[in-house]
Chains A and B, each alone.
Chain A
Amino acid sequence: MQKNEEFSNQVVLPESLAPIEVQEFEALDKKYKLINQISSAIVLAIALTAFFIFTMISSGNIPYFVLFGIPTLFVLLFISKLVFVILGFPKKGYLLREHDVSYRSGLLIYKLTSIPFNRIQHVEVSQSMIEKSFGLSTVKIFTAGGSISDLSIPGLLPDKAKQIESFLLSKVSQHE
């Protein structure tokens, strides 16, 4: 692969090397891990409550293996989700270079998405309810390629998110 002399694509935020796969990615904020754990706990709580309400309503004659099996299944799912969240967290990260932005994730299936700045349509900072209460933001980056080619970087401190947004916007306007 020959490289053009005039072209450079150095990392901008953390200072480092060139081809994308060997770069140091910026990690997400630790609170993001906590948020994910809490939200899966909430899902577990809702599922369990729903199941108990169901058992109350449907009068009696539910076999014991259902009565105990299903909650156990829920708890097992919850635990495996927790394991995924904890082990998957260090795999998540983003990278800003001179010409593109990338996000990677995935414990079992590693995924890396890159969007060049000159293809960004618009940038958005968003906060869900739970994110808001923990003081985290998500930066969403939209392209013309429809939802599958969009990219969002979760688990950012609001200041950082704003900083990234304005950095991206300045890059986008350069290309217009």
Chain B
Amino acid sequence: MSNLDLTNPTRQELRGFLVILVFELQKKARVFWPVLILLFTQKNLLPENITIPIALGIIVLFLVVHAILYYLNFYFYVEENQFIIKKGYLRKIVLSIPLERIQSVNTKQNLLQQLLNVYSLEVDTAGSAGKELNIYSLSGDYTEHLTQFLQSHKENTIDDESDSTFNNQEEVEILKLSPADLLRIGISQNHVRTGLIIVAFGSQIWNQIQDLFQEETDAYSDSVQHLLSNSGILFFTVFVILALLASILATLVFTVIKYYGFRLVKHQESYKITAGLFNKRKVLLPFSKVQQFNWETGPIKKLFGIFKISFKQAVSKQVQQKQVVDAPGCLNHHIESIREDLFKRDLPDANEKIYSHRRYFNLLWFFSGWLPALVSSPVYIYEPLWLIAGGAWLLISGLYNWMKVSKSYFQFNKSQLIVGKGAINTVWQQTESYKTQSVDFRQSFFQKRRGLASLRVNNASGHLNIPYIPEEMAHQLMNDLLYHVEISEEKWM
């Protein structure tokens, strides 16, 4: 491994040429598809002696030549404190990224890449055009080496790049999900939601099928149609059950594909996550880059004692959402050890939980319960039966919001903040005070009368809401947070 010299301009791995070709093909297709469609639909646009196969041949030839040139002119290396990518043959592009600006280095492997045994590397810098910094074909060794280097270098930027940083310190496995675990996790996902989508979607198809049959059955016999329309309720129940089964199966398959072979290991001051069946991804996540850590459980998950966790990183404006690294399932002790790692200092668990004021319920119930119920009041006049539906809605939204209010709280110990939320699910969010970017204090007219206020704590990965807490407490929390940010010398990213 040590014989690899990163400062040497290197080309991509030759055996991955096919991968480069495919990626370039995708890129070009994305740009030129209207032209292609035009070409194939309007055959007379082509000169007479050129048929479609010939045209296609020419296009493929161009692409292959393009890919070869692309491959030959693509170099990357490390020079001083920059990671440099040189590419392009007609238009030369030199991308240089200061090492300390690198957010994260991710490795990915799709099916083709797995077959050819090459990896693609994605270098993420906060707020840059992310796609520019992809290398599609790298050998495993080189990837490992480069990732290691970029990561370690970033952490101790002042340190001379000594070989000692490459010394693989032991990796500690924190979490590993076996296929059996994944099955359990798949079952405990929220199926009701998926099921409802399938029902809504399916009932439309059902109606269409019925319409279709109606025409057919008119011609044949009435009995089929009779059966169809009379057994509607039966069909519907069977359909709902089938939909639920389908949704369970779908989530199972999805979970297994996405998280197959999930492994979370701790290495020095960062986590390494590997997962995926067809698309293998490998994410290196330094502790310092985690802006917020969330863990979550639901009614079914609770039965299994399973939590879902996610690490939230800074969101660069182009690649939204991608920066969340999550694990579908883990147990309580995993969360404890992860929190130990991420938030070394004393956790605020022992501090008092300060719950949102009950008045928060009034606001929620008004907007999600009463307002829709009152807006639809004209319907009640025409059809009083709808009053029952309206009443049921009020009741359900009341219950839901009551759960929501009773789960909304915060815990604070000056350097760290935990916010609890959720209604049916329970979600905990934890962040360190100094990662805060800005703080919003909000107080409506009604809140002012009761001496209450809401706070929103923004960090680089999102925000934490702390609704309806006593006014002085909100002020104090805001001042404390600002104070902690302002005295902090640590890099938030």
Interface of A with B (CB < 8 Å)?
A: 1, 3-4, 7, 9, 19-21, 99-100, 106, 108-119, 143-146, 148-151
Which residues from chain B contact A109 at a C-beta distance below 8 Å? 442-445
CA distance A51 to B126 in the complex (A): 47
Tell me if B's interface is mostly helix, strand, loop or mixed: mixed
CB atoms of B493 and A110 under 8 A apart = no
Within 8 A of A (CB), among B15-62: none
Q: Is the CB of B482 within 8 A of A20?
A: yes
Residues of B near any A CB (own CB < 8 A): 126-127, 314-315, 317, 436-445, 448, 458-460, 462-463, 475-476, 478-480, 482-483, 485-488, 492-493
| Known contacts A106-B442, A109-B445, A143-B458, then 16 further A-B pairs from the complex at CB < 8 Å, ordered by chain A residue | A7-B483, A21-B475, A109-B443, A111-B443, A113-B441, A114-B438, A114-B441, A116-B482, A116-B485, A119-B438, A144-B492, A145-B459, A146-B317, A148-B458, A149-B440, A149-B463
Are A100 and B486 within 8 A (Cβ)?
Answer: yes
Residues of A within 8 A of B475 (CB): 19-21
Whether A112 pairs with B440 at a CB distance below 8 angstroms is yes
Q: List 14 A-B contacts (CB under 8 A).
A: A7-B487, A20-B475, A20-B482, A108-B445, A110-B443, A110-B444, A111-B440, A114-B439, A115-B438, A144-B126, A144-B492, A144-B493, A146-B462, A149-B458
The answer for the CA separation of A58 and B324 in the assembled complex, in Å, is 52
Q: Which residues of A lie under 8 Å from residue B445 when comparing CB positions?
A: 108-109
Q: Could you tell me if B437 and A144 are in contact, using CB atoms closer than 8 angstroms?
A: yes
CB A31 to nearest CB in B, in angstroms, measures: 27
Complex-state Cα separation, A100 to B317, whole angstroms: 24
User: Which of B436, B459, B479, B487 interacts with A19 by CB under 8 Å?
Assistant: B479
Cα distance A100–B482 in the bound complex, in angstroms: 8
Query: Interface on chain A toward B: helix, strand, loop, or mixed SS?
Result: mixed
**Closest B residue to A108 using CB positions:** B445
* A126 CA / B443 CA spacing, docked (Å): 29
Q: Which of A3, A19, A108, A151 touches B438 (beta carbons < 8 Å)?
A: A151
Q: What are the 5 closest A-B residue pairs judged by CB atoms, nearest first?
A: A149-B458, A145-B437, A99-B486, A145-B458, A112-B441
CA distance A145 to B448 in the complex (A): 28
Taking the closest CB of chain A, its distance from the CB of B488, in whole angstroms, is 7
A113-B440 CB under 8 A given contacts A1-B480, A108-B445, A145-B458 = yes
**Do residues A145 and B460 form an inter-chain contact, with CB atoms below 8 A?**
yes
Cα separation A91 to B459 with both chains bound (whole Å): 27
Task: List chain A residues, Cβ under 8 A from B441.
Answer: 21, 110-114
Distance from B351 Cβ to chain A, minimum over Cβ atoms (Å): 14
Among candidates A1, A118, A150, A151, residue contacting B488 with C-beta atoms closer than 8 Å? A118
Query: Nearest A residue to B442 by beta-carbon distance?
Result: A111
Q: If A148-B458, A149-B458 touch, does A113 touch B487 (CB 8 Å cutoff)? A: no
* In the complex, chain A residues whose CB is within 8 Å of the CB of B438: 113-116, 119, 143, 145, 149-151
Pick the contact of B463 from A9, A108, A148 — CB < 8 Å?
A148
Pairwise interchain contact B315-A146, C-beta atoms closer than 8 A:
yes
Shortest C-beta distance, B456 to chain A (Å), equals 8
Q: Are B478 and A144 in contact (CB under 8 A)?
A: no
B493: which A residues are within 8 A, CB to CB?
Answer: 144
Report yes or no: B476 in contact with A1, Cβ–Cβ below 8 A: yes
- The smallest beta-carbon distance between A20 and chain B, in angstroms, is 6
| A118 and B458 within 8 A (CB) | no
* Complex contact A113–B439 (CB within 8 A): yes
Write out the residue numbers on chain A whose beta carbons fall within 8 Å of the beta carbon of B478. 20, 112, 114
| The residue from B127, B314, B485 contacting A118, defined by CB atoms under 8 A apart | B485
Q: How far is the CB of B413 from chain A (nearest CB, A)?
A: 13
In whole Å, how far is B450's beta carbon from the nearest beta carbon of chain A? Answer: 14
A60 to B179, CA, bound (A): 71
Central interface residue in A108, A116, A143, by most chain B CB within 10 Å: A116
In the complex, what distance in Å separates the CA atom of A119 from the CA atom of B480? 16
Query: Is there an interface contact between A118 and B486, defined as CB atoms closer than 8 Å?
Result: yes
* Smallest CB gap from B444: residue in A: A109
- Residues of chain B within 8 A of A111, CB atoms compared: 440-443
Bound-state CA distance A97–B476 (Å) is: 17
Interface contact A119-B485, CB-CB below 8 Å: yes
User: Shortest CB–CB separation between residue B312 and chain A, in angstroms?
Assistant: 12
Q: Which residues of B contact A100 (CB under 8 A)?
A: 482, 486
Within the complex, the shortest CB–CB distance from B93 to chain A, in Å, comes to: 25
On chain B, the residues within 8 Å of A148 by CB distance are 458, 463
Best-buried of B438, B442, B476, B482 by chain A (most CB within 10 Å)? B438
A23 to chain B, nearest CB (A): 11
The residue among B317, B436, B480, B488 with the most chain A CB atoms within 10 A of its own CB is B436
Indicate which residue in A20, A21, A108, A119 contacts B437 across the interface (CB closer than 8 Å).
A119
Shortest Cβ distance from residue B360 to the other chain A in the assembled complex, whole angstroms:
15
CB-contact partner of B442 in A20, A110, A114, A143, under 8 A: A110
Pair B448/A110 contact, Cβ less than 8 Å: yes
The answer to whether B486 and A145 touch across the interface, beta carbons within 8 angstroms, is: no
Are B479's CB and A20's CB within 8 A? yes
The CA of A146 and the CA of B321, in the complex, are separated in Å by 12
Residue of B with least CB distance to A22? B475
Let me know if B483 and A145 touch, CB within 8 A: no
Q: With a CB–CB cut-off of 8 A, which chain B residues contact A7?
A: 483, 486-487
Closest B residue, CB atoms, query A117: B486
Chain A hits for B488, CB < 8 A: 118
Which chain B residues border A112 with CB–CB below 8 Å? 440-442, 478
**A117 to B127 Cα, complex, angstroms:** 20
Distance (Å) between the CB of A4 and the closest chain B CB?
A: 7
Is A1 touching B442 in the complex (CB atoms < 8 A)? no
Given known contacts A7-B487, A115-B437, is B444 in contact with A108 (CB within 8 Å)? Answer: yes
The CA-CA distance from A113 to B440 in the complex, in Å, is 4
Q: Name the distance in Å between A155's Cβ and chain B's nearest Cβ.
A: 20
